[in-house]
Chain A
Amino acid sequence: MQNVKGSKFLEKKNNLMKDIIEELTKEFKYCSILGTDVRGKEYLVQKSGSSFNDSNWNERGFVVRVYNGINYTEYSFNHLIADKVEQIIDEVKKKAQQELKLITKKFELINYPLVNEDEISEEYFGEVKLLPNSITISDKLSKMNRIKDKALPLSEKIVDFRVRYEDVKVSKVFISNNKELKQSYIWSQGYLIAIARKDDDTRFFYKTFSGLKGPELLDEMENSYQEVVEKAESLIGTEPPEPGTYDVICDPDTAGIIAHEAFGHGVEADMFVKNRAKALEYLDRDVASKNVTMYDGARSANHVSSYLFDDEGTIGQNTKIIDNGILKKGISDLLSALLRKTEPTGNGKRESYERKAYSRMTNTFFASGDAELAEMIASIESGYLLENPMSGMEDPKNWGIQCVMISGKEIKNGKLTGNIVAPVLMTGYVPDLLKNISMVAKEVKLSGSGACGKGYKELVKVSSGGPYIKTKARLG
């Protein structure tokens, strides 16, 4: 395994970051600075061409947070040189003092307690089998082109086959009055996407790959092109299921989306603070069947959102959200924990240094059970095996949930019939969905190829997953 090295950029800026903290401490009782250096590359090959660009996850800059006497003020910037330190400090003061005064003429401020930190100095450097630069750009593109070139001739119905790969090195430094934290790690993700058409019926299917990995991920992607082509072809001519409530088995990715939407977003502590999450009324009450245990945390799994500390300098944790059906605990950012007088759980994440921190998920999943997929299928008289989620959305206030899957496989009399329905829209009431979970498989799988939004914005990297689960769901 190769060790991931820290950011030279952040190393160079370390003293200036400390200068800012030292200067601001003269005026503010709490101040912190987060420095980020996220660098990655995205590669795409398809029938009509290819591309090689910076990753959309790239960011490099700083965010300062100060306690303004009543609550907290932040200032984000990306130009930090010795000559600019004074100007940055002036801007922070302007935001925390003059601009705040103007607002307080018309609006009250929410009173937040002062952050009380233990003294910590820690660092974490991840490791991967291959570092991104250990394989040349040309070799990465060649591997990807080989996959595409093998896939395209497999069927006349395939109008395009796309191979997308991205590797990203995340480096962050957090400095406050009592903390000095550093971390660097690498994650990668890949997609195989087939587009199939017959007459005017166009369909797509994709398979994703991800993890705390470097370009070794490309080797994992190499042998799945045939499956992706066949599944895209099989979708042609399919129809959605007849609206109704069915026994369903959810694949690990679909189980992950349910976990993420149901009691991931539903237990974010900033939603508790705003009285936007019904889960608050259900702490220590049953919200799911006894078969359901669920976790979230930077330390709950080794996947794309595993880190030492979050974007507010809180050390990551392993949070058991649901224990055998009983809702135990939410996930929290630092400021929400201050207001609620609870402990932060290391879930304060920002889209980038340019954005506010919110309570966000990390690696969220249902724990394993003791069933086998074969016995789960055999237990269903009429239903579907749901696969490959495309999107999800939850209403944490009223516990509505919506998930869209690429397809479902029909099950009749305990057997897969070979019939496919697509696409599949699953909607329902969260406790109904979770209380009906009657079987849980043994093997847990996580996927971290997507992004999670808070409402319709603030995208952050997360993973989610679980084992195969059997429940009842409304499909439409």
Chain B
Amino acid sequence: MINKIIEILNATNEIDAWKLTERKTKSSELFFIKNKLEMNRGKDVVKYKISVYNDFSNNEHKYRGSADVELLPDMEREEIEQIIQEAAVGASFIKNKYYPLADPVEIDYNVPASDFYDNSFADILSQISEALFESDNFDNGGLNSAELFLNEHQIRIINSKGVDNSYQKRVLDIDFITNWQENSEEIELSKIITLAEFDLDTIINTVREMLIQSRERSKAESLPNINDIPVILTGSSVKELLEYFYVQANAKQIYENVSIAEIGESMQGKEIKGDKVDLLLDPNLSGSTHSVPFDKDGFPLSAQKIIEGGKLLQFWGDIRFSHYLGIEATGDIKNLSFAEGSYSEKELKSEPHLELLVFSNFQMDHLAGNFGGEIRLGRYFDGEKSIPVTGGSISANINKIKNDMLLSIEKQQINNYYGPKFIKLNNISIAGG
């Protein structure tokens, strides 16, 4: 199929360059209600994403139009030719500034040697299912349901300049719900675990932690009306909040004038009272499903320091938008490694505060900087005792609080995020439940 596609691409007059990404995916999936299997599924699919490029000049400016289309293994030659021809015509109407494709570079890549890659899907899922239910041994709560998706992806990227790189990865996603009932009505919490390694301990510990949080939510009181109290975020909301700095430092956001960040300038305002942010993009972050040897263009990736001491050292970006800005491309790196802060968990929690563990849906608007969400589980510490709370919401704008963020020494990993586990913020608007 690939040879046939390349032959057609090379024979199409309007195409000056092309990129082909082959993606083969096999999966095995299990669906549980409590600890009984509701359904098993599997899939085996192959897709070919083709980018065609059409170069032209106008008033001495060079342009490169492009179009992305998907081809499938069942397509006959006539249909492939028609799709590629339409894409080529479409690309000729797309007037984007010229940018180069990735050059061929030899990339040393080997399939990771581990049980996760050596064992069959059925064996792995069988062991993972057992681990999932290992912590499900409490009297008043347990797993309500769980969905397990084990995917194996084989990716190959080829372009008209000679790039031809491949890698393989297995990804495990577990989407599960926990229940708990004390004296009041039964409650639930939900969680998705995404793993790039055969890590049974993480599964066991995460389920246990969610069950304990469910017990806490079951006992939670409605959030009282409290003001002028620091808020401590933990878990995935910390990741989503700090991702704002990653998005603001992206070459595409700069080129499109969505971000106004400047190299050498502070990302956290003029007077930083709290911790200063350090961000490293690490394409080899252990345990991340986004750890890859090269990006979507076939561009080889290496670790890049982006922010240090709160100051922007460089933008990060793919070949296209880096070329537009006249900077060296870092490639599209999706792993974020933030340095630890200077406060221990104990120090952060020593004074009255509202700690927020689970939101209905924590929203971070990367453009305007607004963030917030409804609280599913929090802990209100009044200086003497801590009580679990639920309901109500918080909201704020990161641009108003980014100069006064206290980051924890303790770190957490959530798939492609490795960084502080807690972040303490002041001047957050709190609505009682």
Contact = CB atoms under 8 A, between A and B. Distances in A.
Interface of A: 9, 13, 41, 46-54, 58, 60-61, 71-81, 91, 95-96, 98-100, 102-110, 137-138, 141, 159-160, 195, 197, 200-204, 240, 243-244, 273-276, 278, 335, 354, 356, 390-391, 393-395, 397-398, 400-402, 404, 423, 425, 427, 429, 455-457, 474-476
Given A47-B257, A202-B369, A276-B144, 17 more contacts: A46-B256, A47-B256, A48-B256, A49-B94, A78-B46, A78-B74, A79-B73, A79-B74, A91-B44, A108-B35, A200-B260, A202-B368, A356-B31, A398-B187, A425-B372, A455-B175, A476-B431
Contact of B45 (A78, A398, A476): A78
Contacts of B66: 51
B199 interface: no
A276 B144 CA distance: 8
Contacts of A104: 37
B411 interface: no
Given A76-B43, A78-B74, A107-B32, A402 B373 contact: yes
Q: Say what secondary structure dominates the interface of chain B.
A: strand
B182 interface: no
A47 B68 CA distance: 20
Contact of B257 (A48, A49, A394): A48
Interface string B125-141: 11001100000000000
B365 A423 contact: yes
B96 interface: yes
B209 interface: no
Contacts of A77: 43-45
A54 B374 contact: no
B92 to A, nearest CB: 9
B361 A391 contact: yes
Nearest to B41: A74
B104 to A, nearest CB: 25
Contacts of A278: 185
B96 A159 contact: no
Contacts of A398: 185, 187-188
A455 B147 CA distance: 12
Interface in B211-258: 255-258
A356 B29 contact: yes
Top 7 closest pairs, chain A to chain B, by CB: A476-B431, A243-B431, A393-B361, A76-B43, A402-B374, A53-B68, A49-B96
A137 B36 contact: no
A61 B361 CA distance: 33
A121 B376 CA distance: 48
Given A54-B69, A275-B144, A427-B431, A107 B35 contact: yes
B interface bracket (residues with beta carbon within 8 Å of A): 35 or more
A77 B432 CA distance: 50
A164 to B, nearest CB: 14
A49 B324 CA distance: 12
Given A54-B68, A275-B144, A9 B74 contact: yes
Contacts of A393: 360-361, 374
B395 interface: yes
Contact of A108 (B28, B36, B95): B36
Contact of A456 (B130, B179, B192): B192
Contact of A474 (B363, B399, B431): B431
A324 to B, nearest CB: 26
Interface in B382-433: 391-395, 399, 429-432
